[in-house]
Structure 1
Amino acid sequence: MRSDVPNSHYDTLGVPRDAAPQELRRAYRKAAQQNHPDRHAGDALAEAAMARINEAWAVLSHPQRRESYDQWLRAQEARLRADAAAQAAQPTRFEAGWPWGLVAATMAVALATVGTVVYRTSVSSTAAAQHQLAAKPSR
């Protein structure tokens, strides 16, 4: 089982969490041989990788340290799951603002309707008045 926490010691050695001590030792030796600074003279990346490998071995080879590290990993994974759940529970920008958008759209339609009615009413009364003025005989 791979860890949800990125770059865990298990990932560094490439072993599952339930790996036996012999499997851990084989993985450590293989990783150490591949990344040993003597094989990669002057390579800073190999030196950094070897430092991570040695740190992982120091923690996972000691039973009490390994148990403590496993508890810490479980706590980190629980925190990541809780953060993801909290993020998923947050409303999106649309969900948080949609009632106000609905109110704004309703108001816009209402104002457009009222404006149309007022315009048509005033235009037809103005047109009727002009028509009556034009129809009156001049004296």
Structure 2
Amino acid sequence: MDSLAFMLWAVRRYGDAEDRFVLAVLVAMIGLQEVGGHIEQTQEQIGQTIGSGYSRSHVAWALGVLLEDGVLRRVRRGVYQIVPSAALRGGVRPPAEGKRKVPGSTPERVHQLDLLKDILEDPKAPDAFKAMAQVDAKLPEGPRQKRKGK
């Protein structure tokens, strides 16, 4: 799967009135990515990025949908990652916070295929996320199926 196929799928998957907020959160998270695909934002910060009027609980619900579909994974509290085959922000990773760049050193490059390999080998990565990370991932057809009682 490449990013264009993913984006077209996301529009179909989250395009109905009830799920458009999920699509807005997904697009915001793509824009908030750091090199390597990590997103270090609280739910409140994500809501503020999208616009006023969105509570933490609205964002938590949308993140839950994206986690369930395998589009997103929680790396640790406050740190998320979008499946790299869909929307990776590659490039050169800046030095870790608190570390200085050593003169003459080569910056760490982040390559999409290396990141995908790391995810597929990570025992803590959720199965749905690993399935979505496959190069030949089969994306669910049609709009998202709503849970009963929602």
**Between structures 1 and 2, the one with greater helix share:** 1
**Between structures 1 and 2, the one with greater strand share:** 2
Same fold (TM over 0.5): no
TM-score by structure 1 length?
Answer: 0.28
Radius of gyration: which is bigger?
Answer: 1
TM-score by structure 2 length?
Answer: 0.27
